[in-house]
Amino acid sequence: MDDHGVADPDRVPSLTPEDWLRIYRGMVLIRVMDERLMALQRQGRIGFYGEARGQEAAVVGSAAALAPQDWIVPALREAGAGLYRGLPLRTYIAQIFGNANDPASGRQLPCHPGTRASHYVTMSSCIASQLPHAVGMAWAAKIKKDNSVVLGYLGDGATSEEDFHVALNFAGVFRPPVVFVCQNNQWAISVPVAHQTASPTVAIKALAYGFPGIRVDGNDALAVYGAVKEAVDRARSGGGPTLIEALTYRVSAHSSSDDPSRYRDERITETWRARDPIVRMRAWLAFQGFLDAAGDERLRADLDAEVRDAVAAEESVPAPPLRTLVEDVFAEVPQFLADQLAEIATLPRQKLGGAHQ
């Protein structure tokens, strides 16, 4: 579609109106959630947050192309894909608070959810380290003949890491059912993509590894879905991997710890804000008669209430029990860890930061 939401009907993927509205809902949920949780971080109620503002089409459009048995191995800004795939919103909020409802018991940095039930692997903050994992999972699927595809996300900065080469080289040689989706938002924290590579695109890098590379408008949910669906279908049928470059822009900061105005021209940022993927998708849905202004307003109000209710519920949950410090590694807690836990339990509560039950 163009910047005004007008699309060539002959090129629009074949989905039902309900499917397109579900994709749009997933995109709006990310935006509403980001706005609320970033505000909480600024208020000191959570410790860290990273937005996906402006990248919602790339996140949800790609996840929508998967089958239930497929797996997602995320990078940084794909939590919305996990939510789209069934990660409960309260579970995600609990992970951000690191409270007793957090499946990881507060061990992970915020924005690092994971759910086996929805086939969404917990991300790693180590850049590109998830890519060999994605290829390994796909290689296992090929050996087991279980008909699943693995979607491995990365950012443009990950293309400068050794793991990027390792993963794509192995994928090209052994052709497991893996699809790489690079959200090229043009900034790896403060390093622009022009300082990451001299290649004219990220997609062209796939040619050196012996498989297709495709560049797509990352702010167009229709285009992202179509490209990823084609790649997933090819991978599932034995056609091997694909590298998809979703060209977008990080219109917000890298994270709540970043100030992009110190290193980039924000006038360029404003031109990308005008290409808002949610605005474009809403316009297309309106042109098709799938969504009117009243329906959009109700959707946003419902999602805002859903996010606020989840925050209110999880913010009141206490910290994980102290015993979780020594659990989840050994089937039986070794005596030396049990002794250390007993010693820590004698310390005053204030020295434990309140995480003492």
List residues with catalytic annotation. Answer: 250, 254, 263
The number of beta carbons lying within 10 Å of the beta carbon of residue 76 is 23
Of the candidates 105, 101, 109, the residue with the CA atom closest to the CA atom of residue 79? 109
Both tokens of residue 356?
A: 């003492």
Q: Which amino acid is at 21?
A: L
Looking at the chain, which runs of residues are DSSP E strands? 71-73, 150-155, 178-184, 187-188, 191-192, 213-217, 242-247
Both tokens of residue 9?
A: 């009907």
* Whole-number Å distance between alpha carbons of 277 and 134: 27
Both tokens of residue 248?
A: 């977008």
Q: Are 188 and 155 in contact (CB under 8 A)?
A: yes
Taken as a whole, the chain contains a residue count of: 357
Q: Residue 179 forms beta bridges with which residues?
A: 151, 242
Q: Which amino acid is at 56?
A: E
Both tokens of residue 229?
A: 């669906």
DSSP line for 271-287: HHHTT-HHHHHHHHHHH
Instruction: Write the secondary structure of 116-174 as one string of H (helix), E (strand) and C (coil).
Output: CCCCECCCCCCCCCHHHHHHHHHHHHHHHCCCCCEEEEEEHHHHHCHHHHHHHHHHHHH
DSSP class of 115 = B
Q: Are 179 and 242 in contact (CB under 8 A)?
A: yes
* Whole-number Å distance between alpha carbons of 27 and 289: 19
